[in-house]
Amino acid sequence: MSDKARWLTWVVPLVFLGLLFTAVLARDLDFWRSAAALNRLSEAAAQRGDLARARDLALKAWTREPENSRYGLLLARLELQAGQPQAALATARQVCDRDPGAIGALKLQAQAWTSWAGSRRPWSS
């Protein structure tokens, strides 16, 4: 095998892997994090007041482990704090459907419903 062919057998796979990694990284910067790590980062972002980043991380964590009701409850709470009671209600309902023992989901549903219904009253200003 010539030196040029040997060189290409090393360069072509490396270039392909580099392009693949770049494509994955461009799609999701947190692709390499576990759901637990995403959940911790989401809680930290919420404590800092960065609700948009916290919601994004919580959604990724819950998407990766939809059976974990803690992740769904965190997402619903963040949606409620961000002033999105309909989204929080939908998320809390999904958590309740997946885990009927999640008492926090019922509480968040009530809070979201109260918040959403209160914002729809025509006489409130």
Q: How high does pLDDT run on average in the chain?
A: 86
- What value does the mean pLDDT take over residues 78-93? 94
pLDDT digits (tens, 9 = 90+) for 27-41: 777 877 899 999 999
- Given a cut of 80, whether residue 50 has pLDDT beyond it is yes
pLDDT digits (tens, 9 = 90+) for 108-121: 999 998 887 776 65
- What value does the mean pLDDT take over residues 89-97? 94
* Alpha-carbon distances, residue 125 vs 61, 96, 120 (angstroms): 37, 32, 10
The rounded distance, in Å, linking the Cα atoms of 55 and 93 is 17
Are 64 and 38 a contacting pair, CB within 8 Å?
yes
Which parts of 2-125 fold into alpha helices (H)? 3-27, 35-48, 51-64, 69-81, 85-98, 103-119
Q: What is the pLDDT of residue 28?
A: 73
pTM for the whole structure: 0.75
Contacts 24+ apart (CB under 8 A), 84-93: 85/112, 85/113, 85/115, 85/116, 85/119, 86/112, 86/116, 88/112, 88/115, 89/113, 89/116
pLDDT digits (tens, 9 = 90+) for 69-85: 999 999 999 999 999 99
Q: What is the pLDDT of residue 25?
A: 64
